Structure 1
């Protein structure tokens, strides 16, 4: 029986529960019947049988080579992908890698994408009021000294002089005193602050040390997250018809952003699958791989690739609890079969190491059986069919 209370009668529940549908699909049938107020038991039976038929038709046949089919289904349209960097979702200010390079990034499980970015959703008044949304922006976007004012050097007095902009300080919600304090903590110097003017210099007069202080000053992040160089704010319309502010970032620090007040952690995401894994777990990383590969194909007009092929790839990459790449440093390189490993890359190394260690290849997979000329153990290749003779002399299959 269903664990959730639906507004349907017992006869309808009995009809739906009598099917071979998994629990998720049964729940969807109940939700559909609830939406159709006054649906009869006959209509419920017809709907449940129709869903069951579609479900059984879409299941994979036993001994179907799903891995090979998935590789073909992703690889063939993958040759049509362009090799450019595209603007992300209409945000002209932010470039995000798409096409074939992005697909390679994902299956290689690169530690950091070429163009890391985050999509940050906001909650409550932060999503609807521009001023509140900008508070979140300044807590995310890295603020360097050149964004706050002008920096100059007084060689005669061996001093670095900073002239802060009052309007910028107010806009970014930071004070001159806080700026001076961060400089002292970061550079280990004594500052003199008067209003929006800040001065400091090296302990011993040295032109080299003076220039070094200026270089180090420019690297200090006074507010926001160091990894996020820019944030673009857009007002977007949701599927519900309401509008809200959404932030797009150049640079990624997923864990830090989730802790900022006003950020909706349930919807915020990034394009770095390893950051998602660290902060949300392996299941979330699996979903991210599926979503990112699906979006990459859809961007190129190839959204007719069945999502189950992408799900199989994501499952293979995450089923050990860690994100593994498809290549020789991940899944292909960790196969038990010597010939399968050798067929992928660095053939001589694999064969030499296998010979040194006396490895045995059981010839269980597709690749190794193709290499030695044996039928693969999938489809008709795994069926053992023999002809036997009876006393009457007629041929009969055992």
Structure 2
């Protein structure tokens, strides 16, 4: 890598990403050092002009910039763009889900990208899909109950077994392990005898059998394979990041889920912050709304600043404000005031909301400066 322009760039306190972009552009242009110095100086002036003024109401501007486009969002569940078979929540309900950090999103889904060996071959991609997709007994066989002989008869479908890359022996082993009972193989069928001679025991075993996952990951109900550019990508209905990342053939560095809380638990707080930004921006863009990424970044920073994921709401950011009046103005007014009175809390009136309530100038913009006249 060339170091030709490094000494010029080092003199300016620009962010590292801006420096890298500038350096790449200068190298592309191949200008001399005098011209390079002029270009960098002009860029630095533009950078300073775009910085926020001290005392600027950053939070209010961000809230308004996200809130106003939010009024124009739809409130329906759509089909996922390009994947007709998967429903996914979009629009305002999705934005609320992101900012509330719901532990169980209404339509969890994953976009799984594969390693080079598996991404180019559809059959190999199908192999990975079979390892991920939950396979139940009804997907590969017909079940019948024989009340007279107190047994359950499973008649496997050979084509379905082949498609799911399972053998009768593997199915038998998994049934024995899951049901903790003996399974008899007879004329290409599997028979589960019920030792206890009661109809209830028979039906309980039947229900348990239908819910038993023979292969794949329980949370992932369906996997769809799509070709994008020159590689195959898997889209799933349901999400389990931890287990999917361990599956052979999955590229863990390019695998995404729309469950932000799961990302926080598996990959940590920085990954969760990036997920909040990515999900919010993509939700807004899908609706044709443009919001500057810096507003979303500010919200994501506030939600993750303490090292844990907090919702914007009375159980998170808004509920943990220092000011009693600010908490009371948001939600649960009487409870907040009563609790504060019982504990004898003091409000320092340092924020915006509480100063508006008591009718004082807020500490923002010109109100942020306090001048004292020295009278002789």
Could you say whether these structures have the same fold, taking a TM-score greater than 0.5 normalized by the shorter chain as the test? yes
Aligned counterpart, 2:292: 306
Give the length in aligned residue pairs: 376
Q: 2:264 aligns with which of 277, 284, 289?
A: 277
- How big is each residue's C-alpha offset from its partner over 1:254-299, in whole Å with a ceiling of 9 and x where there is no partner? 1100000110111101001111111111101000000000000001
Instruction: After TM superposition, list the pairs within 5 Å mapping 1:262-341 onto structure 2.
Output: 262-302=249-289, 304-341=290-327
Aligned counterpart, 1:3: none
Whole-Å Cα distance in 1 between the matches of residues 180 and 151 of structure 2?
Answer: 15
Whole-Å Cα distance in 1 between the matches of residues 336 and 375 of structure 2?
Answer: 47
Aligned counterpart, 1:87: 79
Whole-Å Cα distance in 2 between the matches of residues 287 and 75 of structure 1?
Answer: 20
Aligned counterpart, 1:353: 339
Q: 1:78 aligns with which of 70, 81, 94?
A: 70
1:320 Cα deviation from its structure 2 partner: 0.7
Q: Which runs of 5+ in 2 are unaligned?
A: none
Answering whether residue 1 of structure 2 is matched by residue 14 of structure 1, we say no
Answering whether residue 215 of structure 2 is matched by residue 215 of structure 1, we say no
- How big is each residue's C-alpha offset from its partner over 1:18-60, in whole Å with a ceiling of 9 and x where there is no partner? 2231222212222222333x32213322331232122212211
Give the alignment's TM-score, normalised by structure 1.
0.92
Aligned counterpart, 2:38: 46
Q: 2:112 aligns with which of 103, 108, 120?
A: 120
Q: Which runs of 5+ in 1 are unaligned?
A: 1-5, 238-242, 391-398
Q: RMSD of the TM alignment (CA)? A: 1.4
Aligned counterpart, 2:360: 374
Give the alignment's TM-score, normalised by structure 2.
0.97
Asked if the contact 1:138–1:172 (Cα under 8 Å) also holds between the matched residues in 2, the reply is: yes
Aligned counterpart, 2:51: 59
Divergent runs of 4+, >6 A: none
- Judging changes above 3 Å, is the alpha-carbon distance between structure 1 residues 143 and 324 closer, same or farther for their aligned structure 2 residues? same
Instruction: After TM superposition, list the pairs within 5 Å mapping 1:116-265 onto structure 2.
Output: 116-194=108-186, 196-237=188-229, 243-265=230-252
- How big is each residue's C-alpha offset from its partner over 1:299-329, in whole Å with a ceiling of 9 and x where there is no partner? 1100x21110000000010011110011000
Asked if the contact 1:8–1:33 (Cα under 8 Å) also holds between the matched residues in 2, the reply is: no
Asked if the contact 1:121–1:263 (Cα under 8 Å) also holds between the matched residues in 2, the reply is: yes
- SS across alignment from 1:370: helix
